[in-house]
Structure 1
């Protein structure tokens, strides 16, 4: 019993000591999400834009601090992409549901969510089968994130100034949609290759 308590205290202390400045900045992005959604729901488009911009700045700062001052942690490596994904997904969904001068199409939000679900389920399935899947994003994955952030920034900016711009936003949606689907297919392809390679290795060992 005492050993279990000691182990629990040790794990709690380790988690606490790993909460450095980069991790605190990462968590602040998660905390900002409900405030961002509320700002959009009540028409405070300037506040929503400010929260999104500040969240993007914290993303840049936490990465810089972690690299420059050697403060990379295991929990940070897990929380950082999770915080980014939660912010992007909640923003896209909110902008497709609330009444704003420039809304995102619902099909765009469904595409983004479906891609993330497929990737997550695929990685979980590979993990259960004992196949390690590298989480590091590919070039097209990074391009997808960049286009999504750029699209959201443009939509939030024109909502703030109250100017409808379907001529700009709709083509940007289709471009981002195409790259998002392509990145999802690339992850599926990588997962299938890893699974087939692992299966071949197992067959060789059994022979």
Structure 2
């Protein structure tokens, strides 16, 4: 097993610890765990690139660990009233729709390779910043003024844009149109 895979597995194990800390009101531990997960994600990516330690297992585990942490944190923050439920529902629904689309295309014998789109990368970055800021705010008890509502709105808009972009790409794939092709009229 590669070092990046071991770091990713550590991130997977960290998820229930962060969630437990949140539920028990230990916001400082939850924030610290979230930061450790983020830093370890960067470290395992660096090691994989620098020392050519890419693996098929890591290609699946790494995004799974990222999504599991982020979605779990969003769900708990939503249930506890620190994020609006509409945003949590959007985030979870988008991810569920992507997973269902990938599974459906595989079952139908037309597997799709999910390539991260730029809007999706920006969306994920905004979601991470939002989760980190909310956890930091709860840990250190400071006000954010208009920053929090603005981040929530931007996160919601980007989540919808990302879902729409993936849906269009998936529909094109399932219709048999490759990149640059258009349907005959």
State TM-score, norm by structure 2.
Answer: 0.92
The answer on 1:64 being equivalent to 2:46 is yes
**Cα distance, 1:166–1:91 mapped onto 2, change above 3 Å:** farther
Q: Are 1:40 and 1:98, in contact at CA under 8 Å, matched by a contact in 2?
A: no
Counterpart of 1:53 in structure 2 is 35
CA distance in 2, matches of 1:180, 1:154: 18
Q: Answer with 1 or 2: which has the greater Rg.
A: 1
Q: Distance in 1 between matches of 2:34 and 2:126?
A: 15
- Encode CA deviations 1:39-92: one digit per residue, 9 max, x unaligned: 111111111111000000110011110111111010000100000000000000
- The 5 Å alignment of 1:1-207 reads 19-98=1-80, 103-165=82-144, 167-197=146-176
Question: Scaled by the length of structure 1, what TM-score is found?
Answer: 0.82
Runs of 4+ in structure 1 displaced over 4 angstroms? Answer: none
Cα deviation, residue 164, structure 1: 4.2
Q: For residues 16 and 61 of structure 2, what CA distance do their matches in structure 1 show?
A: 17
Per-residue CA shift, 1:160-194, capped at 9, x if unaligned? Answer: 11134363212210111100110011111001101
Gapped regions of structure 2 (runs ≥ 5): 178-185
RMSD of aligned alpha carbons:
1.5
Alignment partner of 1:94: what SS?
helix
Aligned equivalents of 2:174 and 2:114: distance in 1?
15
> CA shift at 1:24, angstroms?
0.6
Q: More helix per residue: 1 or 2? A: 1
Shift, 1:110, TM fit:
0.7
